[in-house]
A and B are shown apart, each in its own frame.
Chain A
Amino acid sequence: MGKTTVAASLALLAAKRGRRTLLCEVDAKGDVADLFETGPTKFAEREVQPGLWAMSMDTEASLRQYLALQLKLPLVARVGPLARMFDFVGSAAPGVKEIVTVGKLCWEVRERHYDCVVVDAAASGHIVSQLASPQAINSLVQVGLVRQQTGWMLDILSNPATTSVVVVTTPEEMPITETIELRERLAAETTVSLAAIVVNRVLPELFGRAEEAVFDALDAPRPVELLERELGGPAQPLLDAARLMVTMRRTRTSHLERLRDALGGAVPLLYVPFIFTRTHGLRSTRQVAEALSAELGY
């Protein structure tokens, strides 16, 4: 869907607008490094652009940090076995690993280390369990430090002025269907609000109505012959490519309409055009950021 690209571009945009920004890759695949043409991201954040820090989530490192900050026991020596225990409990008990991820990010927000924290989250099938993990923990753990922690996390997650989800999709059948489902699940199973849906890779509209009629007339033996005489070679592939684009765009538009119908205007839609560049790097990240900036009316 270009989820990471959109997250990176939003972070870049926020930083450009003077906000101290943290970009966190939860399921790190090294994409953020490529998008900013920088080395691999680690748990310790690093400034990758002016005002923009990037990190990748590491549940064990996050737990260590948490224990060091929250427990007033001389723990340094015991963090190892504890982390292993936590990891172990985490592979069985629901929400434990998720809470460490969500907790770290909420903590960055609470401590006001950054003005803006952008999270490139897990895929749509899993994001709901991640965002619902404080409630899951709440229902299981009645006392103790973890329980005390979930309260303020829920406050941060549930406040639409502080936290919201941006869903990234493309105008294709399955992604649109999943987006509609995800919106329903977010509302039903989490307390987090949905700020916007970014529709990525929107294909260009080549022709208006008058132009399309001319294009249809052009795509005939005699005009093609005239074109070929001018160009000194086959013109049909050029016309076929235009036809292909028109068809692809038309199919995608029908899915966009389905999305609009399902949303009924309740959620803002932001459109990002398909970027025709040779490789993905800082240049395309900037292009997407500019498109988002325009959509947001900046």
Chain B
Amino acid sequence: MEALLAAREIVITCGSGGVGKTTTAAAAAAMAAVHHGGKVLVLTVDPAKRLASALGIGGFGNQATRVPDAAFAAAGVAPRGELWAAMLDTRQSWDDLVRRHAPDRDTERRILENPLYQNIAGRFVQSHDYIAMERLYELHSEGTYDLIVVDTPPTRNALDFIEAPQRMAEFFRSRLLKMLIVPYRSRLVNMASRPFYQIADRILGSQFLQDIAEFFILFQTMYEGFVERATAVERLLQDKRTTFVVVSTLETAPVREAEFFIRVLHDKGFHLGGLILNKTLPTYLLDEVAGRRAAALVESAGDLAEGDLAAEVDAAPGVLERVLQEVGENFRNLLVVAQREAAERDDLAAIPEVVVTVEEFSSDIYDIAGLMRLGERIWS
């Protein structure tokens, strides 16, 4: 992973929810800032505000915030470079986008005031995906950062995320868009004469259709800018400076999503830099012989608790018997999970070149020291 981070300008982590994607992104960025130097940004686009807690800094927004050196000092490291963090503010980013692409002040104002726009920028789920890519492009082309590590929403959404620029371009080119706009743009078309509009009118109401049409007419003034931008964003994602890192645990559902994601990356010609298998069980559990020993321990717990052992640990036989049984059963339980994980690992690890396994931590990661501990594991 060290070489990968040194060679790329954009690293995008993806994977299912709850696999530690955000923390991994932050850890990778922290390691790069500490060891490679330069300015490193970690950008989270996840609607849930997770990264702040992992970085130990509260409430950062669209503006990138520098993680203070003191936070690193507290973790006993002196970074060669700087670590910055930013979280995507969808609304703010959309407004910026409109301001940039709108042909004039009046159009800008009308777009910003259109009820559809306000909903798109505020609530609309997928607008997040497009704006995230847009923001990434913006940050990258500013050239402020040597490395940008991006944390994405869970898999299916992350897929939307990489396809968003293209979808946006397709949307503006669409013939349907023109069809929808024509009757409102030109009064020559008699709406009532067209069954298509009649039905649309019955379903959605003419006011809503008019809002939509107006919105799209206004938006079309930004067509050129959007399509150009969308194409540039997609080029950047496929560029060799960009790489994707898939993060997964070894549980069934996340593994299936990781497989899905790896397949899509491959099909679409994106670069898969590596696979991080997170929160795995230690390998010593994967031991059938020890499993049989554990079974024997459960069997003979009663006898053992009567013998020398009870005197040695100074325990009542009943208590000791229960402890021995629990120890035996627990090993057998964890062996089953470890075997399940091993099977998943074999399925998954066959694909990418770089595979990193990170064992479950005994404590949570809530500060730079924790991030550095995780970072050390993924580094080599």
- Chain A positions within 8 Å of B, measured between CB atoms, are 1-2, 4, 27, 29-31, 34, 71, 73, 75, 78, 81-82, 84-86, 88-89, 91-95, 98, 123-126, 129, 132, 136, 139-147, 170, 172-175, 177-178, 181, 204, 206-207, 210-211, 214-215, 217-218, 220, 222-223, 226-227, 230-235, 237-242, 244-245, 247-248, 251, 276-280
- Chain B positions within 8 Å of A, measured between CB atoms, are 17-18, 20, 22-23, 46-50, 53, 115-116, 119-120, 123-126, 153-154, 156-157, 167, 171, 174, 176-177, 179-180, 195-196, 199-208, 211-212, 215-216, 252-253, 256-257, 260, 282, 284-285, 287, 289-290, 293-294, 296-297, 300, 304, 307-309, 312-315, 319-320, 322-323, 326-328, 330-331, 333-334, 336-337, 339-340, 360, 362-366
Q: Which chain A residues lie closer than 8 Å to B333 at the CB level?
A: 204, 276
Q: Which chain A residues lie closer than 8 Å to B205 at the CB level?
A: 141-144, 146-147
Residues A84 and B337 in contact, CB atoms below 8 Å apart: no
| Interchain residue pairs with CB less than 8 A apart (13) | A34-B252, A78-B196, A81-B196, A85-B180, A126-B47, A177-B50, A177-B53, A211-B319, A217-B313, A233-B293, A234-B290, A248-B360, A276-B334
Q: Which 5 A-B pairs have the closest CB atoms?
A: A144-B205, A125-B47, A143-B205, A217-B313, A94-B119
> Which among B153, B216, B282, B315 is the interface contact of A244 at CB below 8 angstroms?
B282
Q: How far is the CA of A126 from the CA of B204 in the complex (A)?
A: 24
Q: Which chain B residues lie closer than 8 Å to A279 at the CB level?
A: 252, 340
Q: How far is the CA of A288 from the CA of B294 in the complex (A)?
A: 26
For B119, B177, B330, the residue with the greatest tally of chain A CB atoms inside 10 Å of its CB is B330
**Which residue of chain A lies nearest to B207 when distances are taken between CB atoms in the complex?**
A142
Residues A181 and B312 in contact, CB atoms below 8 Å apart: no
Q: Which chain B residues lie closer than 8 Å to A172 at the CB level?
A: 18, 364
For B47, B153, B300, the residue with the greatest tally of chain A CB atoms inside 10 Å of its CB is B47
Q: Which chain A residues lie closer than 8 Å to B284 at the CB level?
A: 237, 240-241
Chain B min CB distance to A100 (Å): 11
> Which among B18, B176, B256 is the interface contact of A84 at CB below 8 angstroms?
B176
Residues A145 and B337 in contact, CB atoms below 8 Å apart: no
Q: Which chain B residues lie closer than 8 Å to A215 at the CB level?
A: 323, 327
Q: How far is the CA of A85 from the CA of B204 in the complex (A)?
A: 12
**Which residue of chain B lies nearest to A216 when distances are taken between CB atoms in the complex?**
B313
Residues B204 and A277 in contact, CB atoms below 8 Å apart: no
Residues A29 and B256 in contact, CB atoms below 8 Å apart: yes
Residues A277 and B22 in contact, CB atoms below 8 Å apart: no
**Which residue of chain A lies nearest to B289 when distances are taken between CB atoms in the complex?**
A233
Known: A234-B290, A242-B330. 18 other contacts (CB 8 A): A85-B200, A88-B176, A89-B204, A89-B212, A92-B116, A92-B120, A93-B120, A123-B157, A125-B157, A136-B119, A142-B205, A144-B201, A144-B208, A226-B312, A238-B328, A241-B285, A241-B327, A277-B336
Q: How far is the CA of A143 from the CA of B204 in the complex (A)?
A: 7
Q: Which chain B residues lie closer than 8 Å to A241 at the CB level?
A: 284-285, 327, 330-331, 334
Q: How far is the CA of A159 from the CA of B216 in the complex (A)?
A: 36
Q: Which chain A residues lie closer than 8 Å to B334 at the CB level?
A: 241, 244-245, 276
For B22, B195, B315, the residue with the greatest tally of chain A CB atoms inside 10 Å of its CB is B315
Q: Which chain B residues lie closer than 8 Å to A247 at the CB level?
A: 362
Residues A88 and B177 in contact, CB atoms below 8 Å apart: yes
Q: How far is the CA of A216 from the CA of B259 in the complex (A)?
A: 42
Q: How far is the CA of A124 from the CA of B157 in the complex (A)?
A: 12
Q: Which chain A residues lie closer than 8 Å to B313 at the CB level?
A: 214, 217-218, 220, 223
Chain A min CB distance to B187 (Å): 21
Q: How far is the CA of A279 from the CA of B344 in the complex (A)?
A: 11
Q: How far is the CA of A143 from the CA of B205 in the complex (A)?
A: 5
Residues B326 and A242 in contact, CB atoms below 8 Å apart: yes
Q: How far is the CA of A211 from the CA of B325 in the complex (A)?
A: 11
Residues B314 and A94 in contact, CB atoms below 8 Å apart: no
Residues A144 and B195 in contact, CB atoms below 8 Å apart: no
Q: Which chain B residues lie closer than 8 Å to A174 at the CB level?
A: 18, 20, 22-23, 48, 50, 53
Q: How far is the CA of A156 from the CA of B3 in the complex (A)?
A: 55
Chain B min CB distance to A101 (Å): 12
Q: How far is the CA of A189 from the CA of B24 in the complex (A)?
A: 31
Q: Which chain B residues lie closer than 8 Å to A226 at the CB level?
A: 307-309, 312
Q: Which chain B residues lie closer than 8 Å to A4 at the CB level?
A: 253
> Which among B53, B314, B362 is the interface contact of A251 at CB below 8 angstroms?
B362
Residues A237 and B331 in contact, CB atoms below 8 Å apart: yes
Residues B312 and A206 in contact, CB atoms below 8 Å apart: no
Q: How far is the CA of A137 from the CA of B171 in the complex (A)?
A: 21
Chain B min CB distance to A222 (Å): 6
> Which among A170, A223, A239 is the interface contact of B18 at CB below 8 angstroms?
A170
Would A175 and B18 be within 8 Å (CB), given that A91-B126, A125-B46, A207-B323 are in contact?
yes
> Which among B49, B199, B208, B312 is the interface contact of A140 at CB below 8 angstroms?
B208
> Which among A78, A178, A234 is the interface contact of B199 at CB below 8 angstroms?
A78
Q: How far is the CA of A224 from the CA of B115 in the complex (A)?
A: 72
Chain B min CB distance to A223 (Å): 5
Residues B322 and A211 in contact, CB atoms below 8 Å apart: yes
Chain B min CB distance to A283 (Å): 13
Would A129 and B290 be within 8 Å (CB), given that A123-B17, A173-B366, A207-B323 are in contact?
no
Q: Which chain A residues lie closer than 8 Å to B216 at the CB level?
A: 92
Q: Which chain A residues lie closer than 8 Å to B253 at the CB level?
A: 2, 4, 29, 31
> Which among B256, B285, B309 is the interface contact of A223 at CB below 8 angstroms?
B309
Residues B208 and A1 in contact, CB atoms below 8 Å apart: no
> Which among A94, A214, A232 is the interface contact of B123 at CB below 8 angstroms?
A94
For B177, B202, B260, B327, the residue with the greatest tally of chain A CB atoms inside 10 Å of its CB is B327
Residues B297 and A238 in contact, CB atoms below 8 Å apart: yes
For B20, B334, B337, the residue with the greatest tally of chain A CB atoms inside 10 Å of its CB is B334
Q: How far is the CA of A217 from the CA of B313 in the complex (A)?
A: 5
Q: Which chain A residues lie closer than 8 Å to B256 at the CB level?
A: 29-31
Residues B340 and A278 in contact, CB atoms below 8 Å apart: yes
Q: How far is the CA of A279 from the CA of B337 in the complex (A)?
A: 9
Q: Which chain A residues lie closer than 8 Å to B293 at the CB level?
A: 231-235, 238
